[in-house]
Chains A and B, each alone.
Chain A
Amino acid sequence: MYLTGLSVSELGNALKKREITSTEITEAYLKRIVEKDDELGAYLTVCAESALRAAKEADPSLSEIAGIPTAIKDNICTKGIATTCASRMLSNYIPPYNATIIDKLISVGGFVLGKLNMDEFGMGSSTEFSAVRFTRNPHCPTRVPGGSSGGAAAAVAAYEAPYALASDTGGSIRQPSAFCGVVGMKPTYGSISRYGLIAFASSLDQIGPITRTVADNRLIFNIIRGKDAKDATVIRCRNEVPTKKFGNLRIAMISELNDTASTDVKNAIVQTASVFEKCGAKIEVLSMKEIHSALSAYYIISSAEASSNLARYDGVRYGYRTKEYHDILEMMVRSRSEGFGDEVKRRIMLGTFVLSTGYYDAYYKRAKIAQSSLITAFEHIFDRFDLILAPTAPTTAFCFGEMRTNPVAMYRQDICTVPASLAGLPALSLPIGKDHDGLPIGAQLIGAPFSERQIYDTAEVLESEICYHGL
């Protein structure tokens, strides 16, 4: 436990001082995975051989993370390593290229330990929609780890990975981070390249780190962010502006989000607010009526984009191809119907419907207008406030099967995370306490575009004041 218990920053320092070697770290994590992952189910692929080879060649002088392995959500392309999106459709897909963020990590001495479980194609909030296996919550094995990055949050929380890289479309980094008691960042839309991230909803998808500490999260974010000629949505990062001291902050809370929370979550948020007040920060509770349409706008827009993005899976060039067919049309339809799971098909159907003739105006256009109103409402809030404090999820981790058969109940889990996604805002979830069952509670700090530095500075102070204890 000694090595796996260290943070990324601590590992980096020990490596630089030559107190430990990259091989020792990698072996310690591989041992932990062998001991724990049969029960936890966080990994889909473990790259023991290639990781040990990379560890042997690691040069700790390259960067603060050189020689430290990382685990990657299975929708981020890794050259020569299966990248399946936890879907039958891509079960044999071995990408011939790396995502830009993987190349960035490798260029500073990082390497891949393995690939992590997720809801199929990122669609879900519990990782129950993985076509491969369930992932259990490290804090309670009968409960879900959240989703869609359930494998990533569980692996980091259970000390099976020093840190993980995942993706967030409507809360897929933040909600599992809250459920597993770790730190997860969804950065500003346009701050990190998504080249090589298998697309779900392109106008919302964003990559971010999951870590055990805020300092580690900032460290990884600063390495993977920045321009990329292969992703035109990445814009010049402007988060070099000076940040405000904790005691001078103006914090908004949104009553519509607080109202969704269970008693335990609400109490933890109130306690977190009192930490701000104790230090001199100003807290104000606001009403934001646009929140009421955020969930439906999110599910319409994301499903519409998913129906278009997932049209590429037709069994022709790559991916699953059905065994029995007479003509090309039958081959495509059967490949898609057999290759995709129920939740993915449900969203493709919803997306196809809202974009179809006669319904576009009634659904898709209205959703886009609601999204614009939400963005404007956030802009007005950030004219007067520095950050928003909100629950990450209405509840703590729920039990397996509790929501699986009721898609809308599952969708409602995302109410606190989709607003920042729709507005492209940076939002970090950090653990702020535990409920009466001992399950972690997460809070979000949401900022104006490119205010990651302010979010990290604030979260570091909160982290030290709250003293959350993990597993």
Chain B
Amino acid sequence: MKIDLKHIAELAMLQFDEKELAMLETDFEAMLSLAEQLPISDNNEGLIKALPLSELRKDQISVGMSRESILKQAQSVIKGYIAVPKIMQD
């Protein structure tokens, strides 16, 4: 099976050079050969177990983190907003 790693990298928002891609290809072959031990799926989705549901909390408004403490983490802040490169074209 030939996997289009460039396409997967695009989906994952990652970039690799040709050398890295070649190494990834070898790793993928080894990793996916492990998966051959998995039982064959026969459309038995019902067999997949869900986690038990816990008691949910009430939907109430409470005090969260301060705006200032969150903005402190950002690389670039302009007038109290997190700044990113221009998204819309002129």
Residues of A within 8 A of B (CB): 93-94, 96-97, 189-190, 203, 227, 229, 232-236, 292-293, 295-297, 299-300, 307, 311, 314-319, 321, 325-328, 331-334, 336-337, 340, 345-346, 348-350, 352-353, 356, 361-363, 365-373, 375, 406-408, 411, 424
Contact = CB atoms under 8 A, between A and B. Distances in A.
B30 A407 contact: yes
A316 B13 contact: no
A349 B5 contact: yes
Interface in B4-20: 5, 8-9, 11-16
Q: What 4 A-B pairs are tightest by C-beta distance, nearest first?
A: A96-B69, A318-B73, A352-B12, A321-B75
Nearest to A300: B35
Contacts of A327: 85-86
A321 B34 CA distance: 35
Contacts of B90: none
Interface of B: 3, 5, 8-9, 11-16, 24, 27-28, 30-41, 44-45, 47-49, 51-52, 54-57, 65-66, 69-70, 72-76, 82, 84-87
A353 B28 contact: yes
Nearest to A411: B34
Given A307-B12, A375-B49, A295 B34 contact: yes
Given A232-B56, A292-B37, A318-B74, A332 B13 contact: yes
B71 to A, nearest CB: 9
20 contacts: A93-B73, A96-B69, A97-B65, A235-B55, A292-B37, A295-B34, A317-B73, A317-B82, A331-B85, A337-B15, A349-B9, A353-B3, A365-B48, A366-B40, A367-B35, A370-B39, A373-B47, A408-B33, A408-B34, A424-B51
Given A293-B39, A296-B34, A346-B27, A368 B85 contact: no
B7 to A, nearest CB: 8
Nearest to B87: A328
Given A316-B84, A332-B13, A293 B24 contact: no
A353 B8 contact: yes
Contacts, number: 150
B14 A349 contact: yes
Contacts of B30: 406-408
Contacts of A361: 41
Contact of A190 (B13, B14, B52): B52
B34 A299 contact: yes
A93 B76 CA distance: 14
A407 B57 CA distance: 41
A348 B31 contact: no
A407 B85 contact: no
Nearest to B29: A408
From A233, A353, A365, A408, name the one whose CB has the most chain B CB atoms within 10 angstroms.
A353
A307 B40 CA distance: 24
A227 B56 CA distance: 11
A353 B38 CA distance: 17
Contacts of B32: 363
A352 B49 contact: no
Contacts of B44: 369
Contacts of B14: 333, 336-337, 340, 345, 348-349
A222 to B, nearest CB: 20
Contacts of A321: 75-76
A388 B36 CA distance: 27
